[in-house]
């Protein structure tokens, strides 16, 4: 794709200069010129009143039989003998995509002794399960999982693949996409079907979270994306559902895996497992200093919740990054979310807006957080939090 300026037709009106969102257009000798900052967005094409700027679309060299690709797949991630919640969330959303496209929904289970997971995958909406088992897949490995997933795609040709944007998912997704020659939309916060093309519309934050971009993959298959945990609700499971199990024999051998798990050291346990938490108590810059986070921790402990933090707190070094909630941190959806001393910047709200109940505490009555809160307390967190902790302790003691 290229943007072309016809210098002979250009009248030097500078309309394109004002229209360019990236400042990539300049005037030279009373004629419009492009700089290296051009992203080929085409805004200048629409702005030019005389049609001197055009967009030339190169003919795609990709030759692929798109009709050969069908069905929606979800990678079923498991840890310590349990399916991660994000996999169930994606099965629920994948069910909607599959129904809209008139296709089947399948779960991909890779592991050792994991056939029992199939019942849970069917209960969450899948029609089919691709099961790959072997001792070499007991623990996640980049080499092993990438190789077997790539072979599976080449054989069965899915149209859409959904992967959780977890540590493992973010490792697996781009590697598989590169192997099969397709694109990958990372860290999606919404999914849909584009009405004009019928393609999956992947929505994700862009430009530091200041805008939301919707991305299509028109020329390559499968359409792939990683999706943040907790942006979708987990579907109600129906254990009366059944489906087809396709057992696949892997060509991967233990010697093909270049890494070996020697030991597992847990540095972050339930105290900061934000994505799975039902109650989160988050603190922001309004806590004034790191020592005051002891109140956040005390309230979380009383309620059996976990501690969260805003980006400002993490940037200041008060809390490690794995406590951060927001577009550049964790996306969460607990039953109850406490926002203590958090103003409510759009980036933070995007990371916790799917919470069932939001309780905001802020001394600024006009703070944006109150617009998304179900309950609001206008007051100094240093006064409110001790009172809440004491009252909750009394309730628990009854």
* 157 and 191 both lie in a single domain: yes
Residue 61 lies in a domain: no
Contact 288, 380 (CB under 8 A): no
The residue range of the domain holding 324 is: 270-397
Residue 120 lies in a domain: yes
Residue 169 lies in a domain: yes
CATH code (residue 83) = 3.40.50.620
pLDDT grade, residue 205 (50/70/90)?
confident
344-345-347-352 Cα dihedral, nearest 10 degrees: 0
* 218 and 316 both lie in a single domain: no
Nearest Cα residue to 345 out of 378, 312, 384: 312
Residue 263 lies in a domain: no
* 40 and 171 both lie in a single domain: no
Residue 353 lies in a domain: yes
CATH code (residue 323) = 3.40.50.1220
* 101 and 223 both lie in a single domain: yes
Point out the domain boundary residue: 56, 77, 96.
56
What pLDDT is stored for residue 209 in this prediction? 61
Point out the domain boundary residue: 207, 225, 256.
256
* 242 and 285 both lie in a single domain: no
**Average pLDDT rounded to a whole number, residues 261-286:** 80
The C-alpha atoms of residue 187 and residue 185 are separated, in whole angstroms, by: 7
SS3 89: helix
What pLDDT is stored for residue 272 in this prediction? 66
The C-alpha atoms of residue 62 and residue 80 are separated, in whole angstroms, by: 41
* 235 and 318 both lie in a single domain: no
**Average pLDDT rounded to a whole number, residues 270-284:** 82
* 198 and 244 both lie in a single domain: yes
* 286 and 335 both lie in a single domain: yes
The tally of CA atoms less than 13 A away on the side-chain side of residue 394 is 6
* 213 and 96 both lie in a single domain: yes
Q: Residue 204 pLDDT > 60, yes or no?
A: yes
* 73 and 48 both lie in a single domain: no
Q: Residue 16 pLDDT > 70, yes or no?
A: yes
pTM score: 0.72
What pLDDT is stored for residue 100 in this prediction? 93
What pLDDT is stored for residue 329 in this prediction? 85
Residues 74-85 have pLDDT tens digits of 999 998 889 999
Residues 321-341 have pLDDT tens digits of 889 998 888 888 899 999 999
* 170 and 37 both lie in a single domain: no
Point out the domain boundary residue: 256, 291, 321.
256
pLDDT grade, residue 208 (50/70/90)?
low
Number of folded domains in the chain? 3
Residue 135 lies in a domain: yes
What pLDDT is stored for residue 68 in this prediction? 93
What pLDDT is stored for residue 61 in this prediction? 57
Residues 233-257 have pLDDT tens digits of 899 999 999 999 999 998 888 888 8
The C-alpha atoms of residue 209 and residue 90 are separated, in whole angstroms, by: 22
């Amino acid at each position: 794709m290229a943007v072309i300026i016809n210098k002979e037709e250009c009248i030097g009106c500078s309309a394109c200069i004002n229209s360019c969102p990236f400042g990539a257009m300049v005037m030279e000798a009373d004629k419009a010129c492009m700089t290296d900052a051009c992203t080929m967005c085409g805004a200048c094409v629409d702005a030019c009143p005389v049609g001197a700027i055009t967009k030339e679309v190169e003919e795609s060299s990709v030759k692929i039989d798109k009709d050969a690709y069908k069905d929606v797949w979800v990678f079923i991630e498991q840890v310590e003998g349990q399916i991660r919640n994000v996999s169930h969330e994606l099965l629920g959303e994948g069910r909607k995509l599959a129904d809209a496209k008139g296709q089947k929904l399948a779960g991909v289970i890779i592991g050792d002794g994991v056939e029992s997971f199939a019942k849970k995958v069917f209960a969450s909406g899948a029609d089919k399960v691709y099961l790959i088992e072997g001792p070499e897949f007991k623990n996640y490995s980049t080499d092993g999982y990438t190789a077997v997933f790539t072979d599976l795609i080449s054989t069965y040709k899915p149209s859409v693949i959904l992967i959780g944007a977890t540590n493992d998912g973010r490792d697996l997704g781009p590697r598989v996409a590169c192997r099969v020659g397709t694109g990958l939309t990372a860290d999606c916060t919404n999914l849909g079907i584009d009405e004009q093309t019928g393609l999956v519309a992947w929505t994700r934050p862009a430009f530091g979270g200041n805008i939301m971009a919707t991305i299509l993959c028109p020329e390559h298959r499968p359409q792939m994306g990683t999706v943040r945990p907790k942006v979708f609700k987990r579907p109600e499971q129906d254990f009366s559902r059944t489906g087809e199990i396709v057992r696949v024999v892997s060509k991967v051998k233990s010697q093909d895996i270049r890494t070996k798990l020697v030991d597992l050291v847990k540095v972050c346990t339930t105290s900061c497992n934000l994505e799975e938490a039902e109650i989160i108590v988050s603190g922001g810059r309004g806590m004034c200093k790191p020592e005051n986070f002891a109140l956040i921790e005390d309230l979380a402990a009383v309620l059996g919740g976990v501690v969260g933090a805003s980006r400002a707190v993490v940037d200041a070094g008060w809390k490690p990054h794995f406590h951060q909630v927001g577009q550049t941190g964790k996306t969460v959806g607990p039953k109850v979310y406490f926002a203590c001393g958090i103003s409510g910047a759009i980036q933070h709200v995007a990371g916790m807006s799917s919470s069932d109940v939001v309780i905001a505490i802020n001394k600024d009555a006009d703070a944006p957080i109150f617009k998304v809160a179900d309950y609001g307390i206008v007051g100094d967190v240093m006064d409110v939090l001790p009172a809440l902790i004491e009252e909750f302790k009394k309730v628990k003691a009854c």
